């Protein structure tokens, strides 16, 4: 189930908020002793590895050839353990795994925000943009902020993909660029500016503690799919619509659209969106349908039309959004990519997400 290897740190390649990328020489594997692999460490969990340190690695993702998570993960620096944490917090995340971590939840009794959140029950009409993939976050922000600069946006990250928010390069880059105010990690996910037990308290914390005007809610990097109707982590998008609605928010559904995916089930409007919004979401949302040109645009509109009985479909023009996306990529230093495809390799995907941001700006 888990592939364990020992290794030694050769050098530190680069750092992001909460994570360090390393080059590690692996030992103990017949025929591959001394091979250099990319490894990722989360200093808050294992301490900060330095060149020369012996490290214990989990190489499962490397063995599986995962595109999103293709790193060896540093499990421990055995000869130099980090100090024990101090301070309040009793929310245990990644529970009952070898790397379970205790964090301070915004909603727990020791939190300074507990009184504010204890009886909180409303988002007061705040828009909540829901998307399937983590890669939708930058284009949604690009469309929103181009139409309404200065909007205070908070990202809420559930646990359908990566658990540590530190795995996302985009979150740190977007915050540094001023495009994103903060991140809240909920469920088993951790590492955000605030922690919360559920999507519901995460949304309330974003609104009431972090003063969000808009929330973007999408799973972290590394979504899971099995090619079956129900076996994909993106069903959480439908559950997020329900959570936003029950808290008196305004759910805005961003469609997962692709013209570049080789898998038929994801061409046009992905079956992930059609299932999550068409079957899982019981509350009404505004579903943003991008006005894409040609036969492909007609296909997207036709597929989205199957959601009309349950949701309000909103057609949104995409003129000028391609330029806004290129500007955002340049100015924010964020690499626009989804499932290994760059902006010009699957422009429709990014336009659909940006259209959801553009529409949400009109609600404020």
pLDDT tens for each residue of 74-89: 999 999 998 888 888 9
Tell me the Cα Rg of the chain.
21
Note the pLDDT of residue 29. Answer: 57
pLDDT tens for each residue of 308-320: 999 999 999 999 9
Measure the CA–CA gap between 361 and 364, rounded to whole angstroms: 6
| Secondary structure tally for the chain: helices H, strands E | 11, 19
| Burial per residue of 247-279, b for 16 or more beta-carbon CB atoms within 10 angstroms, e otherwise | bebbbbbbbbbbbbbeeeebbbbbbbbbbbbbe
And the tokens for 50? 């330095």
Stated pTM of the model: 0.95
Chain centroid offset of residue 94 CA: 17
Spatial contact of 22 and 74, defined as CB atoms under 8 Å apart: yes
- Of the chain, the end-to-end C-alpha distance in Å amounts to 48
Measure the CA–CA gap between 363 and 15, rounded to whole angstroms: 37
Which residues have C-beta within 8 Å of that of residue 318, sequence separation ≥ 6? 290, 291, 292, 351, 354, 355
Average pLDDT of the residues of the chain: 93
- Apex 90 CA angle, 85 and 95, nearest 5: 90
pLDDT tier, 68 (very low <50, low <70, confident <90, very high otherwise): low
pLDDT tier, 128 (very low <50, low <70, confident <90, very high otherwise): very high
Measure the CA–CA gap between 69 and 61, rounded to whole angstroms: 6
pLDDT tens for each residue of 10-24: 999 999 999 999 999
Q: Given a cut of 70, is residue 32 above it in pLDDT?
A: no
Q: Given a cut of 90, is residue 183 above it in pLDDT?
A: yes
Distances from the Cα of 161 to the Cαs of 11, 273, 344, in angstroms? 28, 16, 25
pLDDT tens for each residue of 143-157: 999 999 999 999 999
More confident residue, 201 or 32: 201
Chain centroid offset of residue 206 CA: 15
Residue indicated by tokens 């991008």: 290
What percent of the chain has a predicted confidence (pLDDT) above 90? 80
CA-closest candidate to residue 55, choices 84, 69, 75, 72? 75
Spatial contact of 90 and 108, defined as CB atoms under 8 Å apart: yes
And the tokens for 189? 């996910």
Note the pLDDT of residue 69. Answer: 63
pLDDT tens for each residue of 218-275: 999 988 888 888 888 889 999 999 999 999 999 999 999 998 777 777 778 998 999 9
Q: Could you tell me the sign of the dihedral formed by the alpha carbons of 262, 333, 157, 311, in that order?
A: negative
């Amino acid at each position: 189930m888990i592939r364990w290897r020992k290794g030694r740190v050769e050098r530190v390649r680069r750092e992001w908020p909460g994570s360090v990328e390393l080059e590690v020489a692996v030992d103990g594997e017949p025929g591959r002793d001394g091979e250099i692999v990319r490894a990722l460490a989360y200093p808050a969990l294992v301490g900060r590895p330095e060149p020369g340190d012996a490290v214990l690695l989990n190489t499962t993702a490397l063995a599986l050839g995962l595109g999103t998570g293709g790193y060896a993960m540093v499990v421990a620096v055995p000869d130099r353990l980090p100090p024990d944490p101090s301070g309040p917090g009793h929310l245990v995340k990644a529970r009952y795994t070898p790397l379970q971590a205790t964090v301070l939840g915004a909603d727990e009794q020791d939190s300074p925000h507990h009184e504010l959140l204890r009886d909180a029950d409303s988002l007061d009409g705040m828009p909540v943009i829901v998307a399937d993939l983590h890669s939708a976050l930058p284009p949604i922000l690009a469309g929103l902020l181009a139409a309404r600069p200065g909007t205070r946006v908070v990202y809420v990250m559930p646990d359908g993909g990566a658990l540590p928010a530190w795995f996302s390069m985009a979150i740190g880059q977007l915050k540094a660029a001023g495009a994103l105010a903060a991140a809240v990690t909920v469920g088993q996910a951790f590492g955000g500016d605030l922690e919360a037990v559920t999507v519901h308290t995460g949304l309330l914390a974003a609104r009431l503690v972090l003063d969000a005007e808009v929330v973007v809610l999408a799973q972290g990097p590394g979504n899971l799919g099995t090619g079956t109707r129900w076996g994909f982590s993106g069903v959480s998008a439908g559950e997020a619509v329900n959570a936003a609605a029950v808290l008196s928010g305004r759910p805005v559904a961003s469609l997962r659209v692709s013209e570049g995916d080789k898998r038929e089930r994801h061409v046009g409007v992905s079956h992930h969106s059609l299932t999550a919004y068409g079957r899982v979401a019981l509350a009404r949302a505004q579903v943003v349908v991008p006005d894409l040109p040609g036969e492909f645009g007609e296909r997207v509109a036709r597929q989205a039309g199957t959601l009309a009985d349950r949701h309000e479909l909103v057609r949104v023009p995409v003129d000028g959004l391609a330029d806004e996306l290129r500007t955002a990529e340049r100015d924010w230093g964020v690499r626009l990519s989804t499932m290994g495809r760059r902006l010009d390799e699957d422009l429709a995907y990014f336009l659909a997400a940006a259209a959801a941001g553009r529409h949400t700006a009109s609600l404020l």
